[in-house]
Structure 1
Amino acid sequence: MDEHRDRFGGVEPICRTLTEHDCKIAPSTYYAHKNRLETPSARSLRDEELKERIQKVYTSNYRVYGARKVWRELNRQGHAVARCTVERLMRELGITGAVRGRKVITTIPDPAAERAPDPLDRDFVASAPNRCWVADFTHVATWSGVVYVAFVVDTFSRRIVGWSASTSKETRLVLDALEMALWQRDRDGFPHAQGELIHHSDAGSQGGFNRWSQHLRELGVCDGCGESAAGGAGVSRADALARAAERCLA
């Protein structure tokens, strides 16, 4: 409107024209919006002031303070502010505290590897049990070190049907979770039907999976996907669960 108001004789004629074309905008709405843009709110002014103080505390403490320590330091200086406000403003500033220990990386996709097709087409709604399983693994920090936890979820019931934990992210980690899912569904009376189950995982990679895919073939889960994936997509059918389990790994 600012661009065309002089041409059409003000804001009101533009609003009338827009209303005739089923786009109702009152002149008061325009003026209120423009006033908010031109006159910063009290919260905006307060945020700008706090950002300067947060940046000063963060810089003067060697850029290692997180939101909790920055919040405490501001309150010690007499600046009453909520911790959630400090967290929000630090996100806007793009600053974070230092993290002790090494950063744990779980999934490392291979950009050069060919990705498998996606039969799910990002549709994770299953019509029955054992139609779509989603697998992944994460890490949990403990006092004695990092523990990796793998899990398999049946998207029909959102139930975790298989899981495993280990101190290393080797192939055995996700394979145990997959084997537990197969065993548990059989025990509960919901065995998977050959060719109907789709196993979805991420694009991580772990080489040298031949022995494990042979192992799954012996269990009757797949019909011989013996090659090792150098990395790949994330979805495979029940006759290729071995490759899907491999792709869960980093």
Structure 2
Amino acid sequence: MLDAISRVLELSEVEHAHLVRLAQPKRPQRRPGPPRHQVRPEIRDLLAALEGVPAYVWGPRTDVLAWNQTASALFGDWAARTSANRNWARITFLDPASRTLFPDWEAKAYDVVGQLRLGAGLHTDDPSLASLVGELSLKSEDFRRLWATHDVKKKTHGIMRLSHPLVGELTLRYETLALPGDPEQLLSTYHAEPGSLSEEALRLLASWGADAAQERAAAAQ
């Protein structure tokens, strides 16, 4: 029956899986607990080894859990944010700078909401996720509008355009991978077409990010 409904509604594979989860009988003893925020040291080492390629780890609430310097240079100084504000949903809907950084802001916002709803379907008993949805519903009319569509989205791969205040326009390809041993933590990486202006812009950002990290380390001594 669910397969037939999916065909009639022309649901995507992700939307069909979400529908199946919602239709399953509730079994409290088998529900997954709240998503973990700890990132294994080996994964942090991997992020450092990927310097030059923006990469970060994030979870079902769209919290950014770990990142490398190049990712921070590309998307903003995450180290300067509080842990609660290292969250793509809050950044997208509550930080006005996101509308400049992402020229295709509406598409970015749709993807973030779809991913957040997917996480909500997996973690129905996560109070932090419910609180986040409530906060965004109160503070953002755009979030309320998109949340009401009930669409789900799983970030996999694609192309993203950015307008960076230091290096200008970039067109990047992204890949999102589930981490072995903790599939609810996702690794996202971004790369440019070889020989493109975006590749040169990424090199400049990587160099700038390394310099900024050295300055922070020197100031902390």
TM-score w.r.t. the length of structure 2 is 0.24
Question: Larger Rg: 1 or 2?
Answer: 1
| TM-score for the superposition, normalised by structure 1 | 0.22
Between 1 and 2, higher relative CO (CA 8 Å, sep ≥ 6) is seen in: 2
Which structure is higher in helix share?
Answer: 2
